[in-house]
Amino acid sequence: MSTKPTPEGDRIAKVIARAGLASRREAERMIEEGRVAVNGRVIDRAALNVTDRDRIEVDGKPLDAPEAARIWLYHKPTGLVTTTKDEQGRPTIFDALPDDLPRVMSVGRLDLNSEGLLLLTNDGAVKRKLELPSTGWLRRYRVRVNGRPTDEMLAPLREGLTIDGQTFQPMTVAIDRQQGANAWLTVGLREGKNREVRRAMADIGLTVNRLIRLSYGPFQLGQMKPGEVQEVRGRIVRDQLGLPSPAQETTARPGPSGKAGKGKTGKPGPAKPRNVTRKRR
């Protein structure tokens, strides 16, 4: 039985998203609204592959060349939601980011009352890959709970929980210190389900009153101050995500491998960030 050959190039919505103009979903809406033309012909379906030989226009303007994948580290403060728009009118992280930052997306979320490391990227493929559980990167949190936890109490977290029909994978949990009525814990997990740490703690009778994400895979919060943004060097991004170097870049650029790259020691190297030029005050 004959099979059709795989079309050359990438889907048009993906190409528009990689150019930093819109998210993939937003690009699909643009196409349906008749705002995108390929080689002078308006299209209304996203099921089209294009290459660098095709001329793409959005709203009558030529599409910019795809940007290289970039990642920023952001120390999210409490009181901000991780959405572009909030139905309740609450301030979002995108209201607080530097004015000179390009269009970015968050990798996963931190809820309103959580703080710490949040990854930002300009590349939808990077975002999707890093959010997949198969990436296997450890997320570490510093968690303050109200109560007096013991190792026996924390055992269900280390074994894995099922809450309201949703399964949470085993976590690593260590008791750092008791401080009056509260205790500080260090928690590690390899998935990122909605409010996972808070829900798991509540299930064993502990209330989280502060949650700080310390790391996401090889990327570390370090000494970053709340609201601070730092860009990860391009070489580090390519090494950690398995992306090609600029010399190897093609139109059909492969996405990240989902695994940390190896340094000279054979282990993932540290992510060395650089500061973004300025932050909004």
* CA distance linking residue 148 with residue 158, whole number of Å: 17
DSSP 8-state class, residue 24: H
The distance between the two most distant Cα atoms of the chain, rounded to a whole number of Å, is 72
Specify the long-range contacts of residues 1-8, CB closer than 8 Å, at least 24 apart: 7/49, 8/49, 8/51, 8/252
Q: Are 197 and 208 in contact (CB under 8 A)?
A: yes
Helices of type H across 144-214:
151-159, 196-203
| H/E run at residue 184 | strand 182-189
Return the axis-axis angle of helices 151-159 and 196-203, rounded to nearest 10°: 130
Which residues are known catalytic residues?
Answer: 111
